[in-house]
Amino acid sequence: MAVRGIACDLDGVLRRFPAQAEVERRHGVPPGTVAAVAFAEDLLTPAITGAVDDNVWRLGIVQRLTPRLGRAAASLLVAEWSAHPGVVDQEVLLVLRQMRSRAPVVLLTNATTRLRQDLERLDMTQEFDAVISSAETGVAKPSPGAFAAAAHALGRLAGAPVSSGGLLFIDDTPGHVAAAAALGWQTHSFNDVESLRDLVTGWGTGPVRHCDTSDLG
């Protein structure tokens, strides 16, 4: 079935954080130390569903690292780990722009309340037709509600509801991809930019789409 709308993940697809491991090495802890704490479900879930602010989440990381590192060292480590908004994979972005010339593209991401600020710092605010952030909707992937929010936005962009079979979801997390597939979406499990290029090549050529995004965030 033709693709009439696309929802794409951010971290692991378009954005990476190569500086974080170096920050941890400078502080004398193994790479992945902060992430292991930050992404613990009981700490992360309130942050990515908007129940707590991004700053509260990062303070929680400090608190959990304090018994191991001491308060001052933990605070400095988390501050430096958090400081950079990451790096955009420009090759992936180019492919996404190709996709966007054919169909509307929305960002569908589990994120904290800092997402909009990060997108501005990364100069990414104009790269999507809409942004669906779990911190704003209160619903995180892989919940069906997250995909419903993206489908609704894509339907508005298309000017009419689009069946799930006409929607494509791109993500690097297998569980999220499986959840979208179970809802009838077309899916692409992201591993590398080459496979994404192959996906676009398989579309062939077609008319460029136009949509009014003035009332979409």
User: How would residue 3 be classed by pLDDT, with cut points 50, 70 and 90?
Assistant: very high
Residue 75 CB-half CA count within 13 A: 3
Per-residue model confidence as pLDDT tens digits over 30-72: 999 999 999 999 999 999 999 999 999 999 999 999 999 999 9
Q: What kind and span of H or E run contains 171?
A: strand 167-171
Tokens of 74: 């933990």
The predicted pLDDT at position 216 comes to 42
Tell me the whole-structure pTM to 2 decimals: 0.92
Q: Domain 5-15+87-201 is in which class?
A: alpha beta
Residue 21 CB-half CA count within 13 A: 4
Checking if the pLDDT of 94 tops 80, the result is yes
Checking if the pLDDT of 217 tops 70, the result is no
Per-residue model confidence as pLDDT tens digits over 140-179: 999 999 999 999 999 999 999 999 999 999 999 999 999 9
Mean pLDDT of the chain: 93
Where would I find the beta strands (DSSP E) of 29-69? none
Going by the DSSP 8-state scheme, the letter that residue 13 receives in this structure is T
